[in-house]
Amino acid sequence: MESKQYFEHPLTKRYASEEMLMNFSPYKKYMTWRKLWIALAEAEKELGLPITDEQIEEMKAHVDKINFEEAEEYEKVTRHDVMAHIWAFGKQCPKAKPIIHLGATSAFVGDNTDVILMRDGLAILKKKLVNIIDNLKNFALQYKDMPTLGFTHFQPAQLTTVGKRACLWIQDLVMDLWDLEHVEENLRLRGVKGTTGTQASFMKLFNNDEEKVKKLDIMVAKKMGFDKTFLVTGQTYPRKQDSRVLRVLQSIAESAHKFACDIRLLSSLKEIEEPFEENQIGSSAMAYKRNPMRCERMTALCRYVMINGLNPYFTAANQWFERTLDDSANRRLVIPEMFLATDAILNIYINVSQGLVVNSKVIERHVMEELPFMATENILMEAVKKGGDRQELHEVLRKYSIEAAAEVKEGKPNNLIDKIAADARFKMTKEDIVKMMDPSIFVGRSPGQVIEFVREIVDPILKKYEKYLGMKVDLQV
């Protein structure tokens, strides 16, 4: 019989980490449903409902023994995933069966589990973010003094340093980390709200004792590791919470995209390259090729995350009154995929940032090719000090610069300095001018800015999360 090979999602097959895959696995999802049912039953018992310890212990004994096949069969009959798993859990727990999901609606397990998985996913991403920040901090300090061409419009501008440029990458990630921390601190569980968010079913269960119903909500939340719930909901928690969470992932993708594009440009200039393994092949045709494939993959995945991140805005905007179900299929795809893709992006980012290759001689050559143009302002000031006419000499420098640039474009060496030294109006020898062309003179406060930025911004972050540091990533493809 001919075997069939079905589509396999690249995020699960090639890119995302096992840790993130497990976080959004069916096993964790449905085990979290069961933990929520146990937390609900415990809290209801503690508040006086006739639920026994035996029933709760029976549920706990089967919390991780998920009978997937039976649940799938039940869903074929019910066309309802939550009811299917209630029945499957009840079959394993016959004593607890009558009280599983007591007073709750499907969103009790569905929505609360989504929040829990997003919380745990953010924790995984945060750990990786701080490791990238640490890698780039070490890189920035190592190369804080190395002059390099700064670019505006991808045209040579004033000099910066390799380390200073790395601080721009770090700063983007720091802003992402701040956003992530803010979202984490303000993440709220849906809680125990009933069918349309009114808690009417629980009011019935507790004989209209409003204080007990309010306690039930916060008790379940605390059992699941949250100290806050939404005070008002419809059937679902506000979908704007998804937008806020996934916006952080979009932001991380923005930062990673910027870094990856910079490295791709620098790789084309042969100044800085991503790691390239001994047996890696850059092209099936061109044996000499050394493509920045890791950063290219980062760029591709970043684009996917940034575009996919539009989905939650439309979902939140299209909620009808207390809820509509057209968010369900969309969220099943968007939330896990954005976390898996962002996880993959950060895995690549860690790998690249821990092995960047700096070709210092190439960088120095490019600097010295452009430095004569950049030095003209200093040369002008020195010549004026020696008695020259500022306006006249400015026009001469403009003319010589245009001539030299045209010759460079013809493949000739930059002879601007020779032109200036040969002009008696400047009253300067070539040796005088060369002394003024130490690249370190032209980098401004770049080295000091690196030290200041690391000390005041980066080091406090790394101290706060030092237990996370030391992560290495070996990419499989």
Give kind and range of the element (H or E) at residue 155. Answer: strand 155-161
Mean pLDDT is lowest, of 275-279, 315-319, 456-460, 472-476, for: 275-279
Report the pLDDT value the prediction gives residue 2, as an integer from 0 to 100. Answer: 60
Cα 168-14-287 angle, rounded to 5 deg: 75
Q: What is the predicted pLDDT for the residue at 188?
A: 97
Rg (CA), the chain: 31
377 falls in which pLDDT band (50, 70, 90)? confident
* Global confidence as pTM: 0.91
* pLDDT, position 286: 45
Q: What is the mean pLDDT of the chain?
A: 93
Catalytic positions? 153, 283
CA distance 233 to 179: 24
> What per-residue confidence (pLDDT) applies to 53?
97
Nearest to 111 by CA among 123, 100, 119: 119
Residues 457-470 have a mean pLDDT of 97
Close Cβ partners of 153 (under 8 Å, ≥ 6 residues apart): none
Residue 445 DSSP SS3: coil
Q: Is 282 a residue whose pLDDT tops 70?
A: no
**22-38 confidence digits (pLDDT tens):** 999 999 999 999 999 99
pLDDT of 144-176, one tens digit each? 999 999 999 999 889 999 999 999 999 999 999
List of domains in the chain: 22-99 (1.10.275.10), 106-212+223-358 (1.20.200.10), 376-436 (1.10.40.30)
Mean pLDDT value of segment 43-57: 98
pLDDT reported for residue 35: 98
Cβ neighbours for 287, distance < 8 A, ≥ 6 positions apart: none
Of 164, 161, 132, 167, the C-alpha closest to 147 is 161
Task: Please check the confidence at residue 275 and state whether its pLDDT lies above 50.
Answer: yes
**What percentage of the chain exceeds 70 in pLDDT?**
96
Residue 470 DSSP SS3: coil
- For residue 458, the model assigns a pLDDT of 98
Q: Looking at residue 424, what DSSP letter applies?
A: G
As a whole number, mean pLDDT of residues 457-471 equals 97
Q: Is the pLDDT of residue 97 over 80?
A: yes
Helix (H) or strand (E) holding 152: strand 147-152
Least confident span in 12-16, 177-181, 278-282, 428-432: 278-282
Among the ranges given (50-54, 267-271, 417-421), the one the predictor scored with the smallest mean pLDDT:
417-421
Pairing of strands 147-152, 272-273: unpaired
d(CA 452, CA 381): 31
Q: Are 159 and 443 in contact (CB under 8 A)?
A: yes
CA–CA dist 104, 96 (Å, integer): 15
pLDDT of 4 over the 80 cut:
no
Question: What is the mean pLDDT of the segment spanning 452-461?
Answer: 98
Closest listed residue to residue 192, CA positions, set 81, 88, 280, 111:
111
Q: Check pLDDT > 90 for residue 326.
A: no
Average pLDDT over residues 55-70: 97
Three-state SS for 148? strand
pLDDT band for 3, please (50, 70, 90 cuts): low
253 close to 306: Cβ distance less than 8 angstroms: yes
pLDDT higher than threshold 90 for residue 256 = yes
